[in-house]
Structure formats: C-alpha cells, structure tokens
Amino acid sequence: MTERIKTLEKELTLNETLGQAKEQLWANIIDSVNDIWPSIQVIFEQIGLIKQDTKDIHKVKEELGDMPQEAARIIHFFNSKNMYEL
C-alpha cells in the first residue's frame, strides 16, 4: 500500500510539473505571437496594396495601348534632330 501511495505521489507531481510546463510554453507562444502580430498585419496590408497596384498597372497598360512605344519613337526622333532640322 505504501508503495502504491508513493507511486501515485510521483505521478501527481509529474502531472503537475508537466501541466506547469505546458502552461509556461503556451504563455511564451502567446507572448511571441503578440510581439510579431503587428508585423504580420503590415505584411497582409502590403500584400493587399500590391494586388491593387498590380490591377491598376494592368488597367493603365490596357488604356495606354501602344502609346508608350509611340512616345519612345517621338522622343528618339526629337533627340536625333538638331534645332534647325526641327
């Protein structure tokens, strides 16, 4: 009977120790997440902004069509002529 009591005491002590270790581990995890959460929020905001910017860039490219190529040709033309030729 005494042996059984000692065994149970060891098990109870071990369970309490494991329980405390688990609590401490979860507290550390929660603290770590709280520390980095603002950075995670900024990353998601930036991802949203990049997606919107990408859509806007494609929209502008569609609206401009061949205009950037034409502008490059016009600039090249003006740069290749002197004042008298213009």
For the entire predicted model, the pTM comes to 0.48
| Cα radius of gyration (the chain) | 35
Q: Which domain holds residue 51?
A: 2-80
Query: What tens digit of pLDDT does each residue of 35-85 get?
Result: 999 999 999 999 999 999 999 988 888 887 778 788 888 888 888 878 777
In a domain, 85, yes or no: no
In a domain, 36, yes or no: yes
When divided into structural domains, the chain yields a total of 1
In a domain, 50, yes or no: yes
CB 46 within 8 A of CB 38: no
- pLDDT at position 46 is 95
- Residue bearing tokens 């034409």: 70
In a domain, 86, yes or no: no
In a domain, 42, yes or no: yes
